[in-house]
Amino acid sequence: MTRILARPEARWALWAGLAGAAAASALAVKGIFSSSSSTAAIGFVFVPFVAIAAGAVAGVWGLALGHVVLAAAGRVPRVRPLLIVAVLAALSLPAILGREAWQGLALERAVHEALAMDAAQLEQAFDASPWRTNKYFLGAIAQNRAASPQLLSRMADLDTPQAYEPLGSLWDVKGENRKGIPVMRLVAHHPNTGGATLAKLDEGAHSKELAYEILSNPHTPAEVLARHAGDTYYLAEWGLALNPNTPRAVLERLSRSPNLYARMNLTYNAATPRDILERLAADPDPILSRNASQALQRRIR
């Protein structure tokens, strides 16, 4: 280790490592602040680990680059095999970063184009775009209000883990989806998603992950709502509490739920009966009580 640190290339490795660690930390923090997720702050715990990993890679690259420069200047011996390895290593990082930058910019363009497409263009893009298997591109399609019920039904048939993965990227590829909601949740939440599609999603293997979006969508069939009438899973209760078609008996149950956010969502549901809102206005939680009182005042006006 002492011999390595004594070599002329060591200074190159040190500065490159520090620059890499600083750049990676800045990008990680930028990603955290650009996310509107309530759990984004947890990412600060991982920033030091990201910095260390990036610093190590950049340090190795700096060592290789330093050897190439110093060998060319005649300041270190030219050992041909070592020089070849150093040249390849020095070229690899810029090549990788350049490729990632090209792909990232190309994906940004594709996502912004998808967000502006009409219904026919979305259908064509879903079938023929070179990005059609990319989760960010699919997320843009699922956010587009022009997406037809037929297209959304086809998207619901996608059998890929990517469709259920959160969307997070330093590139501008999430559209208005700042929380990084997965593609299939966007499909279930879309206002054009039909009842048959929502019923299909409710019967799928990932239905629990989509419970909030399925059960809050006003197009969800009555039989699906009835199937979840006694469901106490927190996402199911949140969704049921928002759906204007949820039966009164279920709304009554939710108004007494220990789940605060289920009770809170009832105050945002225009179909929540007045007597339930009056009871919620007396809730010991001050925010819930205030929201219920405001909902009652809006109805009076």
> Hey, where are the domains in the chain?
2-112, 194-301
Query: ∠ at Cα 198 (193, 200), nearest 5°?
Result: 130
| Residue 65 near residue 90, CB atoms below 8 Å | yes
Whether 121 shows a pLDDT value over 90: the answer reads yes
What distance in Å separates the CA atoms of residue 277 and residue 293, rounded to the nearest whole number?
7
Contacts of 242 (CB under 8 A, 6+ apart): 215, 216, 265, 268, 269
Distance of CA 279 to the CA centre of its chain: 37
Whether 7 shows a pLDDT value over 90: the answer reads no
Pick 40 or 61 by higher pLDDT: 61
Give pLDDT tens digits for 99-109: 999 999 999 99
Scanning the structure block, which residue is given the tokens 């809170």? 264
Q: Which of 290, 254, 288 is nearest to 271 (CA)?
A: 254
End-to-end Cα distance, the chain: 77
pLDDT (0 to 100) of residue 9: 83
What distance in Å separates the CA atoms of residue 148 and residue 157, rounded to the nearest whole number?
15
What distance in Å separates the CA atoms of residue 30 and residue 40, rounded to the nearest whole number?
11
Give pLDDT tens digits for 123-172: 999 999 999 999 999 999 999 999 999 999 999 999 899 999 999 888 99
| Residue 208 near residue 163, CB atoms below 8 Å | no
Q: What is the pTM of this model?
A: 0.83
Give residue 38's pLDDT band: very low, low, confident or very high (50, 70, 90).
Answer: low
* Structure tokens, 131: 């990005």
**Mean pLDDT along residues 218-226:** 98
Give pLDDT tens digits for 50-80: 899 999 999 999 999 998 998 888 888 888 8
Give the chain's length: 301
* DSSP-assigned letter for residue 143: H
